[in-house]
Structure 1
Amino acid sequence: MNLSYATKVSLRPLNIKKDKNHFIVEDIDLEEFYEMPIPSVDAIELINQSINLEEIECTLKLKYPEDEIDILEFVNQLVEFELVSKLDGKEITRSNGPKGELGYSWIPVNLGKFFFNKITVKLYIAFLAASVGVLILKPNLFPHYKDLFVFDLMIENVAAWLFITFLLVILHEFGHVLAVRSEGLPARIELGHRLFFVVLETDMSQVWKLPAEKRNKLYLAGMYFDMTVLFIVLTAQFFTSEESILTGLLKLVVLDTFIRLVYQAAVFMKTDLYYMIENWTGCYNLMENGQNYLSKWLPFLKVSHTETFAGEEKLVRRYAIFYLAGVLLTIAITAKFYIPQIIFSMKEFMLPGLTEPFNSLRFWDSAVFLLQIVLVAGLLFYSWSKKYRSSR
């Protein structure tokens, strides 16, 4: 787009708030948020005062002599972000309309505050500490990959696992929803994926309306509910028979919840813990900048066109270490749980079942299990294709 210092620029309605290190600029109409340094914020305020672009550039160069100021390049960026409404009086239309309405506004704010306040947050942390203590004192309660196989038929095991996982994921995401509602904001649960896993995700874009110190509670809310579930289910095993079906189901809940909590440390997948780290550091492109940094040695990593602000280089280098540690953790979890589960299920269930007569229960158990694998792969492909289409 051809711009000159004589170009008249009109911006869309924006709301600007000071954050930890820089400023959060909200596109009020679309409720989208951008992080900008103070020279950019000053430029926006001067543009809104209808000051000539050349004069704005001179003013900013005098005020910020150590920064590289290019007002025309900045206006071009604002046009790309669709934050400009008019250029020389000519209306600029948006490529996309407002997002759909976020929901769950019917949930009372007081209900959210009941589950998420200063006392309950400490209680959730205490549950996690108690669970660690139980696993140390009773190592036989530590999850094992065979805990997935509660029943004699694979279709029963998969059905139990899917049902339990679905309930626990809903509970995890509902924790986020309740935390968001505790601040009087709306939320929405969507389908997405992380690495090879189909997941439900809570749209918490509205958290940027809050100051940084209030966001961590919202990011960690799902983990708090997971910690509670883990403590309750571990404790419940003290009161059940070791060989009962109920104990087997409780072990399955422990396995599922334990893996979900451990995976939070895999920050290369933008987990809840990752967003907490972003918020704590005030560096909001940690993963992208970390990948850019690591791409010097790992060229297969995707390079993002993101900006590293002054003073963030040290944080990015430290995050890169956690990024690699998260990759190693994922490999370790896969090696300890998922690969043995796949091998065990194929060896003990699917392959022997497929050799059974066509009209036998074992054969159809194996066939349905195979169909389920194809179905999950299809859902994952749909999630990936959806993300690819949206990125285009």
Structure 2
Amino acid sequence: MDDVPILLHELTFVPEGEDEIVIGRADIDSFAVFPLDAAAVVRRLQGGHTVPEVSHWYLTTYGEPADIPDLVETLRELRFVRDPADEDHDAPDGRVPSGGPVRWQALGRALFSWPAWLLYAALVAGAVLLAAGTPQLRPSPGKVFFSSSLVVIELVVFAGQLLGVAWHEGFHVLAGRRLGLPSRLSIGRRLSFVVFETTLVGLMGVPRGKRVLPFCAGLVADALFAAGLVCAAALDRTAGGAVGPFGRVACGLAYLTLLRMAWQFLAYMETDLYYVVATVLRCPDLHRLAREQLRSRFWRAVGRPQRAPDSSGVTDRDLRLARRYAPVVVLGGALTLGLVLLGVVPVLLGFAARLAHALGTGRTDDPHLWDSAFAASAILAQLALLVGVTVRDRRRRARTAPTAA
């Protein structure tokens, strides 16, 4: 069987630095980093050469033998080797085969074209000028309380945030479709919350520079969403300068959108911007390596270096990058605390003050009492669900740990 050529799927070859190449199947999102000589072997196998022919070529070219059968086995594990009997079942449902048509690619290209960028810049600049010149339009924690009913605030914020997140993830998807990738948007749930999830299928199969925009597209979407809300609020101003009900809602949602944008800058939490940094630095495990470096420093500082993580398999370059990134992880905690104190706590305190005031009246004929009671019950139910699921998961891990060991 050695004389039979190895059948390979359509593969992508993308240079990753000076001495590595990312090879992968975009249709199933399977990628791996290979050294240049191994990538050259894969290319010859893909060209129809048999294993003995490639082995002879490698010995002649590099002056030493290579374990080509072992490399072929690795290709099988990555599902790069094509088996005609399994072709109909190889690609998961919903994924477009490599080279197949991609819907919405034209829309993605239009959405990130130069004319579109000019329109985006004009919209954001207009919103900034409006907010700078009109205090009533400036997003702030107090703008979240656009209604006297806490239940109305909760429902509107839930719907507005859901729409904003769908808009955010949709930009990620279209940025991938722009490159011809079968990226997709799905709706799932975490605990009792509905979430939108983007899968950028095949992103590792495009040049590194082209991966940045799909990661940043969500931030672009958030900036446009917030700017659009501020401009919409400006249209709802009265002759006296006051903002109407719709405008107040828009300003409140704009503030929450800006909070989401600020959260993306906490790169240590592996947000969209973290993947931009990891992509630019060519270190996909940057966060994990940085945390291991911090643990190593801690255990060495307390005199127990034997407990430090093993970094023997990590390149010197990645270790240098991890050491430089480690302070970002440390400072990230302080930045998170600052964001919570300055951006989230004022909203929570305002909510609690209104809640306490309404419940403190004790008048059952006061509609604000029942409104506040229902709003408080909804919040407590979510917290109880979160605690319950957390405890359940911990108990499950505790029960399965001895078995796994």
TM category, shorter: 0.7 to 0.9
- Does 2:249 match 1:249? yes
Q: 2:104 aligns with which of 104, 108, 125?
A: 108
For the 8 Å contact 1:354–1:363, the answer to whether it is kept is no
Q: 1:41 to 1:312 in 2, by over 3 A?
A: same
Q: 2:174 aligns with which of 150, 173, 178?
A: 178
Q: 1:162 aligns with which of 152, 158, 163?
A: 158
Identity of matched residues, %: 21
Partner of 1:151: 147
Q: 2:377 aligns with which of 370, 374, 385?
A: 370
Uncovered stretches (5+) of structure 1, i.e. residues with no partner: 1-9, 87-92
Deviation at 1:357, TM superposition (A): 6.1
Mapped to 2, the partners of 1:201 and 1:161 lie a distance apart of 20
AA matched with 1:296 = S
Q: Where is the helix percentage greater, Structure 1 or Structure 2?
A: 2
Mapped to 1, the partners of 2:371 and 2:340 lie a distance apart of 28
Mapped to 1, the partners of 2:10 and 2:251 lie a distance apart of 51
Cα deviation code 1:171-219 (max 9, x no counterpart): 111112222222232222245799xx97422111322232223222222
For the 8 Å contact 1:176–1:219, the answer to whether it is kept is yes
DSSP 3-state at the match of 1:34 = strand
Partner of 2:290: 290
Q: 2:31 aligns with which of 30, 33, 42?
A: 33
Mapped to 2, the partners of 1:33 and 1:225 lie a distance apart of 28
Partner of 2:303: none
Deviation at 1:245, TM superposition (A): 1.4
Deviates more, 1:232-241 or 1:43-52: 43-52
Partner of 2:21: 23
Deviation at 1:367, TM superposition (A): 3.0
Mapped to 1, the partners of 2:73 and 2:361 lie a distance apart of 65
AA matched with 1:32 = S
- Does 2:330 match 1:334? no
AA matched with 2:36 = I
Deviation at 1:163, TM superposition (A): 0.9
Deviation at 1:220, TM superposition (A): 1.8
Partner of 1:344: 350
Mapped to 2, the partners of 1:369 and 1:97 lie a distance apart of 50
Mapped to 2, the partners of 1:359 and 1:39 lie a distance apart of 80
Deviation at 1:296, TM superposition (A): 2.6
Q: 1:247 to 1:28 in 2, by over 3 A?
A: closer
Deviation at 1:332, TM superposition (A): 1.4
Q: 1:25 to 1:72 in 2, by over 3 A?
A: same
- Does 2:322 match 1:324? no
Q: TM-score normalised to the size of structure 1?
A: 0.72
Mapped to 2, the partners of 1:133 and 1:304 lie a distance apart of 53
User: Aligned pair count?
Assistant: 364
AA matched with 1:249 = V
Deviation at 1:145, TM superposition (A): 1.8
Partner of 1:3: none
Deviation at 1:155, TM superposition (A): 0.8
Structure index of larger Rg: 2
Partner of 1:221: 217
DSSP 3-state at the match of 1:205 = coil
For the 8 Å contact 1:265–1:273, the answer to whether it is kept is yes
Q: 1:137 to 1:49 in 2, by over 3 A?
A: farther
Deviation at 1:97, TM superposition (A): 7.1
For the 8 Å contact 1:112–1:181, the answer to whether it is kept is yes
**Which aligned pairs between 1:116-131 and structure 2 lie closer than 5 A?**
116-121=112-117, 123-125=119-121, 127-128=123-124, 131=127
Cα deviation code 1:72-122 (max 9, x no counterpart): 998897787676899xxxxxx9xx97543148x884322222211233235
Q: 1:350 to 1:305 in 2, by over 3 A?
A: farther
* RMSD of aligned alpha carbons: 4.7
AA matched with 2:24 = E
Deviation at 1:28, TM superposition (A): 6.2
For the 8 Å contact 1:291–1:320, the answer to whether it is kept is yes
DSSP 3-state at the match of 1:312 = helix
